[in-house]
Structure 1
Amino acid sequence: MNPASTGPVAVPPANVPIPPTSGVSADRPSGHWPGLIATALTATVAVMPGFTVGALATSIEADLNISRSALGLAMSAFYAATALGSPFAKRLAARLPVPASLTIAALTAAAVMTVAAQIHTLTALTALLVAGGLANGLVQPAAGRLIAARAPAHRRSLAAGLVGAALGAATLLPGVLVAFVEPEYGWRASMLVAGLIALLPIVLAPLAKAPPTPPDSPTAVGDNRSSSPATTGRVLVLWALAAALSATGNNAVATYFVQLGDHAGLPALLTGNLLSLSAVLAIAVRLTAGALTDLAPRHNPTVITAMMAAGALGLVLIATGSPVLFVAGAVLSFSAGWGWTGLLLATTLRLVPGRTENAGHTVQVGIYSGATVAPFAFGALSSTLGFTGTALIAALAAMAAAVAMAAGTLTLRRQRTGTP
């Protein structure tokens, strides 16, 4: 409706749907799901080099004659490249068409894993992982831009959950490789298969077209309308810190899952299958949580806090070293401990409407900063404290994440209500 109009306005009956006007909803391209699926698949393969090296760590360490700490440092380099390169990736993703960003990320991941299957030194592996990490940084800003431009407001959490499910899916294939390819053909063949699979999303990348400048995101009830820039900045810092702390604990478990399973007395085949099943569960939880929270997106921060706390409990169960409790802890840490990533992206999109790359950048920096610390720190600490003590430290980090998330939410609520 034209705000300048002074004539009478006809109000349709409550049971008659109002046709879309020239607002945001009408301007969004239809058929958003194929593009979002293409983005989610690209996000999966883009982060897969780090998880694949982690799943194959035992064989790689033996073949290259390197220590657990040294390989952990190489894996940390992958996540560090994503976190530190995120500001550049954010600017690049804002300028490139979304399909181009996705193609670069997937193609680089495929090249990294294919070449990694041929290397014989830790230096070469580290260099490859750095390259893969830099390209991985393109995905989240591009995803935020696509969601804001094409996903309906009432499907934002589900759309972000679909993209967030990539972190769960990225552990699925390595688990399958550990269970079915590595025992028969070795880690190099497994890495090569992963590299070839990473090429598949490139075919779908053209589906993820988005306007050069996406329209402003409509916010949830009350979101950001009464939030000052200073308050928004503090909230984003706290939420990014929460993402970093939670990712530190959960990424360590995802990276060293096979070794932790071995420590608990589970056969490698069973552990690999459990990793795959846990990844499937993580995907299901992200999608379900996204669909449910779309009904009341203002509750997203509370749901994320609860998930982080539940993930901490799962890490405590894993630390016991009991086979039964390990399985329960794995299910809890993968489903809840990693289930918040898409919701956090959707929540930050609502907090900073019109700055979609910033939303994806904030979530990405948090997650990958924690992921940077996790492999090397867990590898080094487990060499001295053992898996039990190190898993408990990871649980403390995850609980601190829940506290930081709650603190950010409380800061936002106090500013909106005027509470000191």
Structure 2
Amino acid sequence: MTATAREPLAGPRTGHWPGIVAAALTATVTVMPGFTVGALAPAIASELHLSRSALGLAMSAFYAATALGSPVAKRLAARLPVPAVLALAALAAAAVMAAASRATGVATLTAVLVAGGLSNGLVQPAAGRLIAARVPAHRRSLAAGTVGAALGAGTLVPGLLVAMVLQEHGWRTAMLLAALVALVPVALAPLARVPAAPPPGRAGTGGAGGPRGTGRVLVLWALAAALSATGNNAVASYFVQLGTSSGLAVAVTGNLLSLSALAAIVVRLAAGALTDRAPRHNPAVIAAMMLTGGLGLALVAIGTPVTFVLGAALAFSAGWGWTGLLLATTLRLVPDRAENAGHTVQVGIYAGAAVAPFAFGALSDALGFAGAASIAGAAAVAGAASMTAGALVLRRSR
């Protein structure tokens, strides 16, 4: 157990935000390799002569590495100082995108994305430690929402690269610029210091630290995250291709991706601030956001410019807006197991994200983009049902 709700805060109660921002920026750049490859996918596939399914498999490898490597990443993040974890993860992301800019085939691209996925897994457990140790309980939804905004912000830079760099300078230059951006959070990592804690013990195992049935609740919520993330990550990964197939120009689609990312950030921050007033309602809010994301995916499936814009806005803002709330909700459920809370959310999100690119690519090859987007929407609805089921189990156990 590295950080508990009973540990003293590091500094004044108002002094936690610089560290939270540092963690959020790190989480943004560590998830960027997957989103940047997705945004640049048409150009990469054309130059490297890759099929949609092959490139989707490479992107899936990034998210699969995060999910499968999460148990090891959790243990490593629990033993190293939080600033060291964040700096290491950001440096790894920069190296991964620099290496990806020199890729000559799908094997090289997949290998570097696997490395990036493994380092990406360090961030959420470290963020859980930081929030549990330094953030007052009545501000944790907002703090977790700020860190969760990384999944929205992670598409902001790729969108700008598509709109401003790709057509004139090519995808390799765009990827190299993304690598340079990833170095920025390294300088901010020292802001995320947390109080010294006892060495990890056995308290973090088993079902202690929460109501009876906590294990089943966490499993259902991780499943909900996986199902909802499957649909929304598919849209994020294939955004440019979905937009152009709906009749939008490449530059317009790139700008829309960046605007959607900004909307996702705003929604995460607003949802965190609002739900801090009544955090017991978080599971219901999360389920509603997942349902709204499913509606957005259904609109994307219609395939016209107007419905694509509306659907993308809903899928990015509400459909992705629940990630920080889920982290805050699991921290509330297991306050003495901060790394486990971050690990649960991370495994769920990235398990779904791992399935999304390859499955969506294969489904779109077989059924077209409309059919694939419809199935993604159904997955989001199933995620909302699983989230609700977990909340019901929790209510009965109290």
TM score, norm. by length of structure 1: 0.90
1:303-342 paired onto structure 2 within 5 Å: 303-342=285-324
Q: Could you list the runs of 5+ residues in structure 2 that have no partner in the other structure?
A: 199-207
The residue aligned with 1:354 is 336
Aligned to 1:88: 72
| Amino acid of the structure 2 residue aligned with 1:281 | A
What corresponds to 2:351 in structure 1? 369
How far 1:283 moved relative to its partner?
0.1
Q: Does 1:114 align with 2:98?
A: yes
> How does 1:27-176 map onto structure 2 within 5 Å?
27-30=9-12, 31-176=15-160
Partner of residue 363, structure 2 = 381
Q: Which residue of 2 aligns with 1:266?
A: 248
CA contact (8 A) 1:28 1:151 kept: no
Matching of residues 269-288 of structure 1 within 5 Å:
269-288=251-270
The residue identity in structure 2 corresponding to 1:337 is G
Percent sequence identity is: 72
Amino acid at match of 2:227: L
Contact 1:25 1:152 in 2 (8 A): no
User: 2:209, 2:337 within 8 Å by CA — same for their partners in 1?
Assistant: no
Aligned length: 384
Distance (Å, rounded) in 2 between the aligned partners of 1:27 and 1:49: 33
Any conservation in 1 of the 2:225–2:383 contact (CA below 8 Å)? yes
2:274 pairs with 1:299: no
Q: Shift of the alpha carbon at 1:226?
A: 7.3
Are the structure 2 counterparts of residues 26 and 101 from structure 1 closer, same or farther at C-alpha, using a change threshold of 3 Å?
closer
Q: Is the contact between residue 39 and residue 143 of structure 1 (CA under 8 Å) also seen in structure 2? A: yes
| Counterpart amino acid of residue 194 in structure 1 | A
Inter-partner Cα distance in structure 2 for 1:26 and 1:352: 18
Does structure 2 conserve the Cα–Cα contact (< 8 Å) formed by 1:248 and 1:394? yes
| Amino acid of the structure 1 residue aligned with 2:189 | A
CA distance in 2, matches of 1:115, 1:80: 19
CA-to-aligned-CA distance 1:307-357 (integer Å, 9 cap, x gap): 000000000000000111111101111000000000000000000011000
Are the aligned partners of 1:171 and 1:254 in contact in 2 as well (CA < 8 Å)? yes
Shift of 1:25: 8.1
SS at match of 2:280: helix
1:366, distance to aligned residue in structure 2 (A):
0.1
The match for 1:4 is none
**Contact persistence 1:76–1:373 (CA under 8 A):** yes
CA-CA distance at 1:29 after TM superposition: 2.5
Give the TM-score, by structure 2 length.
0.95
Distance (Å, rounded) in 1 between the aligned partners of 2:388 and 2:76: 32
Question: C-alpha distance in 1, partners of 2:260/2:323?
Answer: 16
Amino acid at match of 2:158: P
**8 A Cα contact 2:8 2:133, kept in partner:** no
Greater CA radius of gyration, 1 or 2?
A: 1
Alignment match, 2:203 = none
Residue 164 of structure 2, aligned match among 164, 168, 180: 180
CA deviations on 1:6-63 (whole Å, 9 max, x unpaired) are xxxxxxxxxxxxxxxxx94864432100000000000000000000000000000011
